[in-house]
A = this chain, B = another copy of it.
Amino acid sequence: MTASATTHPVLAPVVLPPISKEDNVSKAPAPRQTKSRDPERTRAAILRAATAEITAKGLNGARVDTIAKRSGVNKRMLYHYFGNKQGLYLSVLEETYAAIRTAEIELNLEALDPPAAMRKLVLFTWQYFIDHPEFLSLLGTENLNRAVYLKKSKRIRHLHAPLVGIISNLLKRGARQGLFRAGIDPVDLYITIAALGFFYMANRHTLSTIFGRDLNAKPRLVQRGKHIVDVVMTYLEPAEKR
C-alpha cells in the first residue's frame, strides 16, 4: 500500500508550513535598528541567527561574532540574554525540538482512521526533515556531544511524552480494528519512521557523492517519501494479510 499522490506534500508542495526557515536569515547584517528596546524581538533575532549559524557550521564552527552581525544585535546582548555560547546553543536546541514536537501534536491524528493517520505522520516527518535541515544538523551536533546539552534541559525531556502517547494510541486503535499488527512498540516504530527519512536527508551530501546521484532532486524526494510510506505500512500490516 502506498501513499496516494494527491495528498503528497512534496507533489502538492508546502502543505505543512515551515516554522523557522533558514532562508529568512540573510547573511548581510540587518539594518541598524537604532536601539530598538524590544527585548523579545532582540532575543528572537539572536536565536534565529544562532540557529542558522550553528546548524550550518556546528557548535564549534559557529562564530559568535557572525551570529551577532547577522542578527543585527550588539554582541554584548548575546551574553546578556544567553550567558555564553553554550547557553545560546542550548536555547537553539530547545526551540528546535519544541518546534517539531508542537507541529506533530497539531497534526490531530486522533481524528483520522489509523492507516490514514499513520501515513500522515510518516509523510509529515519526512516533509519536516526536508523543510528543516537545521533540525537534522542540530541532532548531529548534539549527538557528537553525546547529548550533554540535551541532558541539561528539563524542558526538552517533557516535550516527548505526548508524542509517544499519540503513536501508542494509534497503534492500539489500529490493532483493535485488525488493521495493524499487534504488539508493536511505539518508540521502536517512531525510531524507524524517523530513521528512514533522517538518514537520507542528513546524509544527502555524502550519499549523493558516493552513489553519484543527486538525492536532493525533487522527484527523488517524492519517490523517497513513497518508499518510506511503503516500508512502514507494509511492516504494519497484520500477519494474516500477508
Interface residues of A (CB under 8 A from B): 57-61, 97, 137, 139-147, 150-151, 156-157, 159-160, 164, 187-188, 191-192, 194-196, 198-200, 202-213, 223-224, 227, 230-231, 234-235, 237, 241-242
Contact = CB atoms under 8 A, between A and B. Distances in A.
**Mostly helix, strand, loop or mixed at chain A's interface?**
helix
Contact of A192 (B142, B160, B231, B241): B231
Given A150-B209, A191-B199, 11 more contacts: A97-B210, A137-B144, A141-B144, A145-B205, A147-B206, A156-B210, A187-B211, A192-B227, A195-B196, A195-B198, A234-B242
Copies of this protein chain in the complex: 4
A200 B185 CA distance: 15
A74 to B, nearest CB: 16
A146 B205 contact: yes
A211 B160 contact: yes
Contacts of A147: 205-206, 208-209
A74 B199 CA distance: 38
